[in-house]
Amino acid sequence: MNYVVDHMKIVPESESRLSFNDRSYHFGDGVYEVVRIYDQTPFQLNEHWDRLFQSAKKLDMNVTFTAEQLTTLTYDLIKANQVIDGALYIQVSRGATPRNHLYSREETPVVTGFTMNAPASKQEEGIAAWVTDDMRWLRCDIKTVNLLGNVMAKREAADADCQEAILHREGTVTEGSSSNLFLVNNGTLYTHPATNLILNGITRQLVIQLAKHAGYSVMEEPFPKDVLDHAEEAFITSTTSEVTPITEFKGQITATMPIGPVTRHLQTLFKEAIKKEQGHSNKEEPETAE
């Protein structure tokens, strides 16, 4: 039997009941987080909750729960579904009320969630990435469930036998359809700054921290799509892809590159960070609800 989170309670999936009046269904009016689970332990959980609450605040959303409650639910759901390696999806919609563009600040948020199997990894062989226009709205810093622009770009990439789409706004590269992008030249990492035009990924933040600690320079600045064709290395980061190399750009830019030493080093450092947090989290795992 599979269990899910429904209105802040863990129930069998068959008993979950969502309303047709949920604002996430009508307007994409909600936020979400995806948390990676390694050996039954959620990774960077506090960072994900911080961003969830930030996203809710940016959408003027009423929040009636705490990070501690979400953490307890997370561990209870991992235990109920016996997840070893996988991922947790948590969604918070503004609420369920009759359809109306104008929202009320008094609506009670609807919290739902489920676990997923560990995604297939492309970290060893790398991926091909499709370069295309960024057609999304201008608040990409909010992790909203309204992902239609991302979805269309991902479909376009898949149709070209690519695993990710790399987006640009009028020639300035922003990020991937479901990831952040890094280029490497002369041992320096380049990535778009954390403005409203990208999502400041939790894995992105950790990789920047690991890179700086290892002695690499990190330049957070906009760069044109033309530089993609002479990058020495390129990789994407996200909760599910971790640190995944790009070996080929296709579409509006055509280029190939090897999986370089900086990317491989950061993959190693990332795996070490996972093990380090696992050891810390296992000592401080919260008590689950009875």
Catalytic residues: 143
Extract the tokens encoding 227.
């530089």
Instruction: Give CA 92 to chain center in angstroms.
Output: 15
**CA-to-CA distance for 200 and 193, rounded, in angstroms?**
8
Extract the tokens encoding 88.
């947790």
- What single string gives the DSSP state of each residue in 176-236? ESSSEEEEEETTEEEE--SSTTS---HHHHHHHHHHHHTT-EEEE---BGGGGGG-SEEEE
Task: Give the type of residue at 155.
Answer: R
Burial category of 273 from C-beta neighbours within 10 Å (exposed 0-12, middle 13-18, buried 19 and up)? middle
Task: Give the type of residue at 194.
Answer: A
Q: Which residue has the tokens 């604002």?
A: 23
**CA-to-CA distance for 123 and 146, rounded, in angstroms?**
28
